[in-house]
Structure 1
Amino acid sequence: MAGAEALRLDARRPVAERLIELAAPAAVYLGVRLVGLVMLAIMAARDGTDVLTRLSTWDGAWLRAIAEHGYDVPDDMLDLFGHHTPTTALCFFPGYPAAVAAVGTVTGGDLVIAGLVVSLVSGIAAAYALARLGELVPGGSRQAGLVLVGLFAATPMAVVLSMTYTEAMFCAFAAWALVGVLRRQWLLAGLCAAGAGLVRPTASSLVAAVALAALVAVLGGGAGWRPWAGAVLSTTGILGYLGYVALQTGSPTGWFAIQQAGWASSLDGGGATARYAVEVLFGGDKIFDVLTLVAILGTAALLVIGVKMRVPWPLLVYGALVLVTVWGTDGVMSSKLRLLVPAFTLLLPPAIALGRRSTGTAVAVVAAAAVASAWFGGYALTIWPYGI
């Protein structure tokens, strides 16, 4: 009866008010990202290039090539060491390129525009899931959810959410999977985790969190068959693709071998990150490197705060595993800031705190973060000379 009464009261509100509330997550996300794109346009113009070129560089070129040619990409597509092999492209997961290829049929074959459209739609989808997460967590609220959206769109390397990169699509799947976990909608959680598993290897962290939460639900009793189904579904995307690469390479560890040989990326227990931290602390003079180290340390602090604030444990498990993967992996150090973007659950503590403050304070903080992120994104794409 209470739910029916709430629906009747909601129906009596002015249509404009309901539409504004409905559009709020998208408006916050798009507003913050627009600030970033305007800043990038200004910095690209000073650099003598254009926004579209900057938004489709680095890994974006690989993903577009896969969207156009499948995994048989042109021979001039080279790995980190300037090599090309028949399996080089297999290190990139197929979900994003497949979506770009599909949208490309509508954009007249323009895969840059198609990639940007996929990222835009994915980012908006992620915004609605994050807004819901901010409402569902203990101490959360509508304002906390919107602040979470704003902070997510204003992380240091949030520019990748507007690029022909996989982060926006992955975060959309991951955020909705975690909404499914909190609402005990196990099929939603499993399907979204499966989708994430076709987009990025970061899905291993998400699958672990979803499967563990489902296991706890089963052990708690009375959950039925859905947690089992959700847990099994969650593994199908990432295991399916790793299995495909294993068949193509003839090795069960084929994907990991490609990553190591072509991109110098492998789990090393954090040794490379520790050496990088020492180098930056005692000899670093690059803004990018310094901010990367600050972000790495900051995420550790946010994780501790999240534990103290009793953020739901599946969200903490997911965030912690993303951090462990980023900290514990060798490879291109300048990509670590980008790899931290999916750790959005760590932004819940400041979002909850700002949700309790005045609207003006929350807006001011998000606006300041948006401007800082906008400048840094422009710096990363127009001044910083290395890949992200």
Structure 2
Amino acid sequence: MSADTHVPVRAEGPRSAVPLRQLWGTRVRGALRRAAPALGLYAALRLGGLLALALWSWHAGREPHRLLGRSWDSAWYLRLAAHGYGHVVHGADPAYVYSDAAFFPLYPALIRAVRTLTPLDYTDSALLVSWAAAGLAAWGIYAVGERLHGRRAATLLVVVWGALPHAIVQSMAYTESLLTAFAAWALYGVLTGRWIWAGSLAVLAGLSRPNGVAVAAAVVLGAAWQICQLWRHRAPDSLSLRARQDWRLWAGAALAPLGWAGYVGWVGLRRGAPLTGYFEVQRRWGSKFDFGEDAWESVRAMVLGKEHLTYAMSTAVVLLAVVLLALLALDRPPLALLAYSALLLVIAAGGSRYFGCKPRFLLPAFPLLLPVAAGMARARQRTAVAMVGALAGLSWAYGTYLLAISVSAP
């Protein structure tokens, strides 16, 4: 896919005689029908992972429901959903103060909404939101893959995403699935020239997780690239007129950063430092951008035999992500996808502490898997099936280890 590939700014065409609602419904049903095989395979992969976790947990006398719904950060989200912001935990080291302001608000708000509207408790509400988001994410990933490489590659893209080593997180009460859903459909909006759609979804992504800023950056850069294309192919006077006519391009780009910037600014205002307050909260958690210094020390500790399997897997995943980013760049994808993936990788690799969590931070970076999916689509069917089987086995085994055996946060 060439980086020169772009979707022209849409001009007004003749109005269809078919009612808009009926036309929209037909398109959605058609898109869902094409994605159905990929979604079925994704569901089978995740159910297999959940079954493996359940069998081992019951064998070890642990409760899989609790592991999925109340582990690590999940407990913070559930507390936020029930009580709102204001909870602080002081660490044994006075340098560390853990404030719930580090967690973005959309996921707890959705949990609370489901809890209010259904008989489910907070844990089950959180899992329902995560599982629904994972399904929407898989559909969005398929839509992006189909747009760029066709149906076979799109199906394999979804399958590989569902068989990643840390794919168990997609089934937990965590926010990665939610962010991936908004990101995938926002990127699809960029690819198809739906700028209001893309900008609005970027707002929601920015309210979901700190690295949701990558979605906003992708939308803004996609819009900038579109304007550059107009400059290249049209006279300046024509560009000015066309750009003013299609206000959606500008509005989508203007909307995109508002979710992330709004929450970061709100935390900053509450702490009396509008620009730096949120980053101070993160720093007190021990999380800051240190250009990979802490990551290097973690790898060094692993090589010297001081760390366990999660660090080895994290090292492998981050290094593989770097290679995949290079392969993606060589394929010359649309700029928005490349920028989104690169920024997620920089944020994950360059952040301090929580080294074992870096593969989880990279789960939303599904465009990195496009070269893998495209390569598998060109391979023989038996080869592709064998690769999927091996990935699934690794994912189920490691997901079980991560939640039921490891003492490190996923």
Aligned to 1:99: 110
**What letter corresponds to residue 76 of structure 2 in structure 1?**
W
What's the secondary structure of 1:78's corresponding residue? strand
**What letter corresponds to residue 187 of structure 1 in structure 2?**
I
- 1:241 has 2:255 as partner: no
Q: State the number of aligned residues.
A: 367
Give 1:352 deviation, angstroms. Answer: 1.0
The one of 171, 186, 202 aligned to 1:193:
202
Aligned to 1:11: none
The one of 180, 184, 189 aligned to 2:189:
180
- 1:163 has 2:172 as partner: yes
Contact 1:107 1:113 in 2 (8 A): no
What's the secondary structure of 1:283's corresponding residue? coil
Aligned to 2:63: 50
Cα shift readout 1:226-274 (whole Å, capped 9, x = no counterpart): 221111111110011111111211112111111111x200011111111
Contact 2:86 2:99 in 1 (8 A): no
The one of 347, 357, 382 aligned to 1:325:
347
Give 1:63 deviation, angstroms. Answer: 0.2
Q: Distance in 2 between matches of 1:379 and 1:342?
A: 21
**What letter corresponds to residue 61 of structure 1 in structure 2?**
A
Aligned to 2:141: 130
Aligned to 1:8: none
Give 1:357 deviation, angstroms. Answer: 2.8
- 1:379 has 2:401 as partner: yes
Give 1:85 deviation, angstroms. Answer: 11
**What letter corresponds to residue 369 of structure 1 in structure 2?**
L
Contact 2:225 2:335 in 1 (8 A): no
- 1:64 has 2:78 as partner: yes
**What letter corresponds to residue 267 of structure 2 in structure 1?**
V
Cα shift readout 1:189-221 (whole Å, capped 9, x = no counterpart): 101111000000111112111101111212333
Q: Distance in 2 between matches of 1:81 and 1:366?
A: 44
**What letter corresponds to residue 59 of structure 1 in structure 2?**
D
The one of 260, 283, 291 aligned to 1:260:
283
- 1:37 has 2:50 as partner: yes
Change in 2 beyond 3 A, CA 1:144/1:58: same
Q: Distance in 2 between matches of 1:195 and 1:89?
A: 19
Contact 1:334 1:386 in 2 (8 A): yes
Change in 2 beyond 3 A, CA 1:225/1:314: same
Q: Distance in 1 between matches of 2:75 and 2:39?
A: 27
TM, length-normalised to structure 2: 0.85
Contact 2:215 2:340 in 1 (8 A): yes
Aligned to 1:206: 215
Q: Distance in 2 between matches of 1:79 and 1:328?
A: 25
Contact 1:355 1:362 in 2 (8 A): yes
Give 1:184 deviation, angstroms. Answer: 1.5
After superposition, where does 1:2-21 map in structure 2 within 5 Å?
Answer: 21=34
Contact 1:87 1:249 in 2 (8 A): no
What's the secondary structure of 1:330's corresponding residue? coil
Q: Distance in 2 between matches of 1:319 and 1:86?
A: 31
Give 1:281 deviation, angstroms. Answer: 2.7
Q: Distance in 1 between matches of 2:278 and 2:35?
A: 42
| Gapped regions of structure 1 (runs ≥ 5) | 5-16
Change in 2 beyond 3 A, CA 1:338/1:198: same
Moved more, 146-155 or 284-293: 284-293
